[in-house]
Amino acid sequence: MRVEADGLGWDADGQVILSDVTTVLEPGAFTAVVGPNGSGKTTLLHLVAGLRRPARGLVRLDGVPVHALSARRRARQVALLEQHPDTTLEVTVRQVVALGRIPHVGRWPGARDPGAGLVEEAMRRVEVHHLADRSWASLSGGERQRTHLARALAQEPGLLLLDEPTNHLDLRHQIALLSSVSRLGLTTLAVLHDLDLAAAFCPRILVLSQGRLVAAGPTQGVLDGHLVEEVFGVRAAVTHTDRLRVAWSLPEGPTP
Amino acid sequence: MTRVRRLRVGQSRSAVALLALVSLVILAASIVIALGIGPVRVPPADVLTVVARRLHLVAGHGVSVLDDEIVWQLRLPRIVAAVAVGAGLAQCGCVLQSLTRNDLADPYLLGVSSGAAVGAVCALVLGWALSEVPGRYSVAVSAFVGAIAALAIVLALATGRSGELPAGRTILAGVAVGQLCGAFTSFVVMVFGPRDGARAVLAWTLGSFSGARSGDAILLTVVVGIAVVGLTWCAPLLDAFAFGDVSARSLGVDVRTVRWALLVATALLTAATVAVVGPIGFVGLVVPHVVRLLVGPAHRTLLPLAAVCGGILMLWSDTAARTLGAGQEIPVGVVTAIVGTPVLVVLLRRQARRT
């Protein structure tokens, strides 16, 4: 799916949260959104997902404005993995993944879902099928994120949106989750905090600062030491040895 | 490796069908047995003959006129009303617990019962009544008006600028309106009430099916029947709320519209039951939890099964209420509380052990 953001803007309580974001996500591209806290990353994700109506500008999915779609049709095209989705209900992994079929199934009781097999397939693709009958409460953080990734896949989306998917995961699970995502080959937009992970997995990058898009394009080329220092106020070196790496260094002199 | 330890009936259609069948058989058997219980005992065989004759299934002459009157005219409307109200309250409890993601949500969450109490007090104590309404219905009508007024205030307080109804604010608004209505009710009873006024109001707030006539029973059955079908139709929408509002929206649910529609629909259904039989606690709170433990949280199974179980619980509570006390009815709200509290305690302890 080709995604275009055209002059996107959003305000909250009279404050400009996001302003004039114009960019294109090419079909199949895995793009990272990085930026300091409060730079508007989650807002951008929600605007692209159609969960909020932009104050300015618009989002097009394959040329169709996202707000021209009904909520149900939109959910068949865009899947969102939010930060820490949680529930107190006693649901199993399979039931959580099956939630992804809701936008596709007819409302009439007894309506059969022709894509019901996709639930099992989605669990296999992100390797949670062996957990299918486990309860949500018994899962580790990494298993929960993979379960929700499988739920998102069961939605059969053309666009996958991930909001800090690696938060609270250990290094091994961070790498495992992003590897699974990049193997999917879906158009993906992921908010990431770890610049090194973004550099390793995402061929393209959007850099936000104070609600503005300050850089966009291929990660190798866009992301460099100057940009990191300017946006994050941290000295860093971006190198390309076996892969693109971001190494930061401690500030010199007394720490502020 | 902890698997979910419960009947995994949510997985297989045949197991769900079996459970539905068993619960319906229990409900039917309960109705037949309860029809025979009372000051005059009627054996189940005679009960069945009366019902079959009245439904023109048999041309039986083998029943006495007395049995026919007791079973068909005296007990059946009350029993049908109890089943309908129990089913309706259990449904509303399921829906509200899902929409607010709050385990303690019950059908009276939105101030409906306390608003209805204000209306009932106005009719019972102050004697305000709409002149066009026949006397027997004056309390019911003013209770319904009070319930709707309270609901309107709660919704007005909770609604945000863009029309959204966040769960937390809705619950708080319900609590606030409930407290205010409670204060008004107490004040009126203390200041204006004759000595037996307080008793009448207390009896009303504990609920009773003794006034239920055949018209009430038919009305409640139709309303609850429509609600069961309608809400079960909405089951996938309710499932989508499992992980909260953002998740529901990303699954294609128009959260604002769905929440408004379902909150208002359940409140109207609850108001209808409160107007006829008063507020009856615990059924709408406990039954959804118990049924969820049995079949899991999927609403397509949960809602119809909760309706049947709520009906069974309310039927036996009312049967106990009208037969256990010698010469005097026990308020049905007392019976449901006595049954419901231990169940709730067990559930809470179970949850405490798990976390």
Quote the strand ranges of A164-243, DSSP E: 187-191, 204-209, 212-218, 236-240
| Annotated domain spans of chain B | 84-347
- What tens-digit pLDDT sequence spans chain A (256 residues)? 999 999 999 998 889 999 999 999 999 999 999 999 989 999 999 999 999 889 999 999 999 999 889 999 999 999 999 988 899 888 999 999 999 999 998 766 566 777 778 999 999 988 899 999 999 999 998 899 999 999 999 999 999 999 999 988 889 889 989 999 999 999 999 999 999 999 999 999 999 999 999 999 999 989 988 999 999 988 888 888 888 989 888 877 665 5
Tell me which chain B residue has its CA closest to the CA of residue A82: B247
Could you tell me the two tokens for A236?
Answer: 């860093």
The whole-angstrom distance between B77's CA and the closest CA on chain A is: 31
Q: What is the pTM of this model?
A: 0.88
Residues paired with A31 in a beta bridge: A189, A204
pLDDT recorded at residue B8: 44
Q: What domains are defined for chain A? A: 3-249 (3.40.50.300)
Q: Does A59 touch chain B (CB under 8 A)?
A: no
CA dist B247 and A85 (Å) reads 8
Domain B84-347: give its CATH architecture.
Answer: Orthogonal Bundle (1.10)
Tell me which chain B residue has its CA closest to the CA of residue A53: B162
Chain B residues in contact with A74 (beta carbon < 8 A):
252
Other C-beta atoms lying within 10 Å of the C-beta of residue B83? 27
Closest in B233, B251, B296 to A102, CB measured: B251
Amino acid at A112: R
Please indicate whether, in this complex, the C-beta atoms of A99 and B242 are within 8 angstroms of each other: yes
Please indicate whether, in this complex, the C-beta atoms of B240 and A49 are within 8 angstroms of each other: no
Measured over the CA atoms of residue B177, residue B183, residue B186 and residue B188, the dihedral's sign is negative
Q: Does A133 touch chain B (CB under 8 A)?
A: yes
Please indicate whether, in this complex, the C-beta atoms of A109 and B235 are within 8 angstroms of each other: yes
Could you tell me the two tokens for B334?
Answer: 């007392």
CA dist A57 and B5 (Å) reads 51
Nearest partner of A75 among A151, A24, A9, judged by Cα: A151
Closest in A51, A96, A107 to B236, CB measured: A107
ipTM greater than 0.90 = no
